[in-house]
Amino acid sequence: MFAVIGILLVFGAVLGGFLMEKGHVAVLLQPAEFLIIVGAGLGTVLIANPTHILKSILSSTLRVFSKSHFTRQRYVSMLKMMFELLNKVRRSGMLSIEADIEQPEESVLFKEYPDFLHDEAARNFVCDTMRMAVTGGIEPFDLDQMMDLDMEVQHRCAHQPVSSLMTVADSLPGLGIVAAVLGVVITMQALGGPAEEIGRKVAAALVGTFLGILLCYGVVGPIGAYLSKEAEEEHAFLYVLRVLMIAFIKGNAPVQAVEMARRAVPLHVRPSFTEVEAACHGQPAATPAATEEKVA
């Protein structure tokens, strides 16, 4: 939602300032310049990236216009799910979760958490790690190193579409200059004509440079920056899972492992201790009014 508002604000502010100075919007409507810049930009994307990155760019760009998946409630739900999973291990042993991690889509426990099942990266991260813990014979340090390697690979893959978009953003001003140069070439061909015609062709050439810079710093660049932050959020989510699982495998109780993981949650979405405790034990979270009444 904010991405749409931001794009509208960018174009609204630019056009508003242009109109305040008595500019004519029709002058900015240059389909040929737009075709050169956007078409060439898309061409560079196709040249520079293999198919799997192209698909990732498309899916990632569409996510810009939706809300973040890594909310405060998502973290509470994840901590509650892991608390239930680890409690099952504590009561019945490691082998009790073998069916859950081998076929998570069929797990009664995981079915209560559709966000987890739909998140392939988090689902595989948890199931693969716990599968290694079930098989045994691996030290907690080695398992931690394995999770770190997995996170590094996923983080690097998540940044591939970001890098591609930033490369396109950097090329747009240059493509705008290409469009402007072509406009100057056309202008030079019309030097013997009326002054008004020459003026229109020069304006069209300058619009090419304008569009290249605007699309770079006003649209593509910010989208790439957003995707970079989203990749960091996903990395942070996996890091919380890593802290939780390694804490339990080292011998900590589920409630202790959950609290260690809660401390690793980024501050802007970190739930309180009371909120997580209430969720794990199936109790409604205390409201501020109820807390004040209890104190009184």
Q: What is the pLDDT of residues 87-116, one digit of tens each?
A: 999 999 999 999 999 999 999 999 999 999
Which tokens in the block code for residue 146?
């394995």
Q: What is the pLDDT of residue 189?
A: 83
Looking at residue 72, its pLDDT comes to: 94
What global pTM score does this model have?
0.85
* Backbone torsion region of residue 222, taken as left when φ is above 0, otherwise alpha when ψ lies between -120 and 50, otherwise beta: alpha
Closest CA to 87 of 234, 248, 214: 248
Exposed/middle/buried for 115, CB within 10 Å: 0-12, 13-18, 19+? Answer: middle
285: region left, alpha or beta (phi > 0 left; psi from -120 to 50 alpha): beta
Is there a contact between 10 and 219 (Cβ–Cβ < 8 Å)?
A: yes
CA distance 84 to 247: 15
Q: Where are the domains of the chain?
A: 34-60+70-284
Q: Report pLDDT for 288.
A: 40
DSSP assigned state of 193: S
pLDDT of residue 283: 61
Which string of b and e fits 199-231 if b means at least 16 CB within 10 Å? eebbbbbbbbbbbbebbbebbbbbbbebbbebb
**What single DSSP character describes residue 64?**
T
Angle between helices 221-249 and 2-20 (to 10 degrees): 160
**Which pLDDT score is estimated for 284?**
54
- The answer to whether the beta carbons of residues 125 and 238 sit under 8 Å apart is yes
Rg (CA), the chain: 27
Over the stretch 205-234, which tens digit does the pLDDT of each residue have? 899 999 999 999 999 999 999 999 999 999
Q: Where are the beta strands (DSSP E) in 77-149?
A: none
For 248, phi and psi rounded to 5 degrees? -70, -45
pLDDT by residue for the chain (296 residues), tens only, comes to: 688 899 999 999 999 999 998 888 888 888 999 999 999 999 999 999 999 999 999 988 888 888 888 999 999 999 999 999 999 999 999 999 999 999 999 999 999 999 999 999 999 999 999 999 998 888 999 999 999 999 999 999 999 999 999 999 999 999 999 999 998 898 888 787 788 888 888 888 899 999 999 999 999 999 999 999 999 999 999 999 999 999 999 999 999 999 999 999 999 999 999 999 999 987 654 444 444 444 33
Report the alpha-carbon distance of residue 125 to residue 84 in Å, rounded. Answer: 17
